[in-house]
Structures are given as structure tokens and as C-alpha cells.
Structure 1
Amino acid sequence: MTFATTDLCDAHEDRIAAGALRVLDPVFHAFGRAQAFGGRAVTLKLFEDNSLVRSTLEQPGQGRVLVVDGGGSLRCALVGGNLAQIGANNGWAGIVVYGCVRDTLELNESDIGIRALAAHPQRSQKRGAGERDVPVRLPGSIVRPGDWVYADIDGVLVSDAPLT
């Protein structure tokens, strides 16, 4: 997938004005080998428990983007090297985490794009709690299941329809 978020914003200023294309706040850091990624969103809402992240990434990704609302917690990581590799192996295009990641050297060896708030060495709990396929609020926008997510080094976009 070849695109630049800056070009998408320029080409779709009318969609931005209408709220159909939204730009997430510039709080996300890039991890993973894929510098740019995009696809349909699969959403998770959870807090300091990555059980649902693992079970979702174990399913075929089909070029989709996993969007994880981790409540912005900076107390533990929700994605690490093993989960990134599982996601890459199962065809996920990328992961956007409103929370932390860990194993950054391993993440950067994985063929997947990842955006997260920060790195944190502590792993999350495993309680099996959370919700899938619900609207989630990330800084700058609500992301709904099936929205289109586009990310590169300049930012993360959310659209209600595919962009060209």
C-alpha cells in the first residue's frame, strides 16, 4: 500500500470539513518495520489486559488494522514482540494502540506497522476482559468497527470510507 497521509488530507479537505475523515492527535510513536499501513478497523476496548489482543491477532487479519483503546494507560504494555509477530504472520496490516508496547527491538523486526503512545517493559494482566467491535475513542476521533485507518510517519487518519 503506497500513500502519504499528507496527500490524503490535501486531496480530501472536503471530507475533513464534513467529519468523514479525521486526523488522530499526534501522540502516537511508530514501531514495527512497516512505515505505512492501512486497512479496515477491528476495534477493541480494554484496560491493562491484552488477552483479547492476542485472541484477535491469532485470527486471519486479511489486511485489516487492529485499533486498541487501552484507555491511554502508561502502566503496562498491551502489545509485545510475540503478538506483533503473530499479527504479521496472520496478515494484519497494522496495530494502533492507545496505550503502550514493549519489546521494541522485536517489534521493529516484525513486518507490521504499529503506533502506540510509548514503550513500557511491564506486561499486562491476563483476565480475559474487554470488548470487541465497539466504537472506541482515541485522541482526536472515535473509531468505529469497519472504518478505514491510514498511518504513516506523518500521522494516523480515520475515514468512514476507503480513500484513493
Structure 2
Amino acid sequence: MDFHTADLCDAHEDRVRVLAPMLRSYGGARAAGGPVRTLKIFEDNALVREMLAEPGQGAMLVIDGGGSLRRALLGDNLAELAVKNGWAGVIVYGCIRDSAAIGRLPLGVWALATHPQKTLKRGEGQRDIAVSFGGATFAPGMFAYADEDGVIVSDTPLV
């Protein structure tokens, strides 16, 4: 995907909301965008695996992990699953692990930080609901775009 979030903000200032500058880019794809799918979970990534096993069709998975810095919600195995199933990217309000391997995959990944510890597997959480963090709300039907300058969200497609 060929775009820059700064250019999208300039061209569509009245249509975008910008996430606070809190996430770092870890994926091999330096820019990604598409329709939003969401998860709201806490230190449990069973639903992440379940969702990434489904056809992504170029969507962006936005994970509200409550901002936890105690466990990683995405690792290389799940990132490989995302690539295999056609997801454009994953935005994590939480941690990831296996960052070097994720950096070699053609997937956009943005997260707060890295952490080596895996999650619990209780299968708790909610999917495809509106989630809010960093001053932005993400909901199914919206579109998210991310690159090394930041993350933006819009009610309509921008590219």
C-alpha cells in the first residue's frame, strides 16, 4: 500500500482522527491500511489466534489490550498466520514478542512495546466492537492507516 499518513492528514484533515503518538512500528510492512476489525482483550490472546485464522481480506486488526505491558498479545506464529490469511496489519494497544521475526514479515504491526512472556489462554474478550485508546475510537466499518509517522482512523476509505 502506497501512502503516507502525513499526506492523508493533509488531504483529509476534516475526516481523520489521529492516535496519540504511543505506538512503535515493528512489522516488515512499513505502511498498512484497510477496514477495521477489533478485539478487546486483556492478557489473553486466544481470540487473536481465532480472528487471525479467518480470512483477513486486507483488514487491519485493532487489539485493545488495555495497555498492558505484562504479556505479549502477538508473536511471530500469529503474525505468520495473519500474513497467510491476508490481513494487512495489526495495531496492538499492548505488547508483542518475537519482534525480529515479525520485522521480516510482510505485515504491518504497531504496538506499545515488546515483552517476552506469552499470554494466558482463557478465550475471554469481545470482538468487533468499538474500542477506544490514545484519543481515537476504532470500530468495524471504519478504516485505519498506519506508517512510521503514526496511526489514523477514518469513517471512510482514504486510499
TM-score (norm 1): 0.95
Name the Cα RMSD after superposition. 0.7
Partner SS, residue 14 of structure 1: coil
Partner SS, residue 53 of structure 1: helix
* Aligned counterpart in structure 1 of residue 28 of structure 2, from 29, 33, 40: 33
Partner SS, residue 34 of structure 1: coil
For residue 56 of structure 2, what is the aligned residue in structure 1?
61
What is the alpha-carbon distance in structure 2 between the residues aligned to residue 146 and residue 126 of structure 1?
28
For residue 47 of structure 2, what is the aligned residue in structure 1?
52
- Give the C-alpha shift of residue 45 in structure 1: 0.3
Partner SS, residue 14 of structure 2: helix
For residue 80 of structure 2, what is the aligned residue in structure 1?
85
Partner SS, residue 161 of structure 1: coil
Question: Which runs of structure 2 are paired with 1:2-151 in the superposition (5 Å)?
Answer: 2-15=2-15, 21-151=16-146
Partner AA of 1:25 in structure 2: A
Partner SS, residue 79 of structure 2: helix
Unaligned runs of 5+ in 1: 16-20
Partner SS, residue 10 of structure 2: helix
TM-score (norm 2): 0.98
- Give the C-alpha shift of residue 151 in structure 1: 0.4
Cα deviation, 1:79-131, whole Å, max 9, x if unaligned, reads: 00000000011100000000000011111111100000000000000001010
What is the alpha-carbon distance in structure 1 between the residues aligned to residue 14 and residue 67 of structure 2?
30
For residue 162 of structure 1, what is the aligned residue in structure 2?
157
Cα deviation, 1:1-57, whole Å, max 9, x if unaligned, reads: 111101111111232xxxxx1000100011111000000000000100000000000
What is the alpha-carbon distance in structure 2 between the residues aligned to residue 14 and residue 122 of structure 1?
40
> Matched residues, percent identical?
57
* Aligned counterpart in structure 2 of residue 153 of structure 1, from 135, 148, 153: 148
For residue 18 of structure 1, what is the aligned residue in structure 2?
none
